[in-house]
Amino acid sequence: MSSFSKAGHLVSLLNKSDFKILKVFASSLKNRQVLNLTTLSQYSSLGQGLIEHHLERLVKFGLISKSNLGYTLLVTGLDIYVLKILSNKNIITALGPQVGIGKEAEVYLARDSSDQNRVLKMFRLGRSSFKQIKRKRDVNTAINSWLLLNIDTAKKEYDILTNLKDSSNSFPNPLCRSFHCIVMDAIYGNRLSDTENLNDPELVFDRIIDNITIAYHKGYINGDLNEYNILVDDDNVSILDWPQAVKIDAINADAVLTRDIQNITKYFSKKFGIEKDSHKIIGNVKRNASKT
Ligand SMILES: Nc1ncnc2c1ncn2[C@@H]1O[C@H](COP(=O)(O)OP(=O)(O)O)[C@@H](O)[C@H]1O
Ligand SMILES: [Mg+2]
């Protein structure tokens, strides 16, 4: 079971006091790496005897860890806390299966109170490098800086998606962010990488370039544009995955745009036999973006 499906199950097992404690951990993440009994008791308003009982449960469930320095929040603990917030606010009422796993996130299907499909993108940045950090001595600090990195990355993608929101239907529509989780509308379609046949590959190609142009006009270059970050549904395209986007005035903007466009032209050439001049397209993107 991945850590997040475990989280879905655990939400129902935890009680009010357990969540009070998770809230203390989550709210102090930025300032404190490790919390001791006195601090936890003070901020949760639970007496020391009671709090020890709950901390033991949270350790047993794998939501926090205990060391001789004190207690530290683990990623499943933050997952659970986020799920609880989202369900209290009726932003999601049911959690579905995992629909995607990418380089930096796990993506889950969810429902809201009016039965609309949503997805939760839970950031899991640095999974492998974190394993190396974990081997080092300061495990507690490593865990929390890893959580903070994921929160910052979620915030970055959420802000970019919010800026792109009204410019096209081909970017994920962000609904809210909580810590390291972005809630978005679910997009239908398959990854371009999994799509063997397209009705009209030329049209799909043009739509991808049109949306790169729209994003460029809004000031962003995706920076990780490839067949895994594009969903296609008939001839409609969606371009996902924006946390690494660079601003068009960044020093490396031209290199990033060139790489993005070349990824797409090479892919369409190899897979669908469509030959395009990437340099011409790059010129068009810049020219058309300034006109739109
Ligand atoms: N809004 C969405 N609707 C449907 N599926 C999505 C959505 N966002 C992401 N996915 C799925 O999850 C996968 C990983 O998401 P992505 O944003 O690319 O994160 P990563 O940074 O981990 O690559 C995607 O390839 C896609 O299959
Ligand atoms: Mg991706």
Residues 248 and 285 placed together within one structural domain of the fold: yes
Could you give the number of structural domains in the chain?
Answer: 2
Residues 225 and 164 placed together within one structural domain of the fold: no
Ligand 1: which of 101, 120, 121 to mutate, judged by most atoms within 8 Å of the beta carbon?
Answer: 121
Low-confidence ranges of the chain (pLDDT < 70): 1-7, 127-144, 291-292
Q: What is the pLDDT of residue 198?
A: 95
Which tens digits make up the pLDDT trace of 143-163? 668 899 999 999 999 999 999
Residue 84 near residue 23 (C-beta atoms within 8 A): no
Prediction pTM value: 0.92
Residues 169 and 197 placed together within one structural domain of the fold: no
How close is the Cα of 63 to the center of ligand 2, in Å?
A: 27
Q: Is the CB of 204 under 6 A from ligand 1?
A: no
Ligand 1: which of 161, 188, 240, 242 to mutate, judged by most atoms within 8 Å of the beta carbon?
Answer: 240
Closest residue by Cα to residue 182 from 236, 122, 231 = 122
Residues 161 and 232 placed together within one structural domain of the fold: no
Residue 247 near residue 275 (C-beta atoms within 8 A): no
Range of 163's domain?
A: 3-185
Residues 39 and 177 placed together within one structural domain of the fold: yes
Which tens digits make up the pLDDT trace of 7-57? 677 788 899 999 999 999 999 998 887 999 999 999 999 998 899 999 999
Q: What is the pLDDT of residue 137?
A: 47
Cα separation of 238 and 208, whole Å?
8
Cα separation of 108 and 60, whole Å?
25
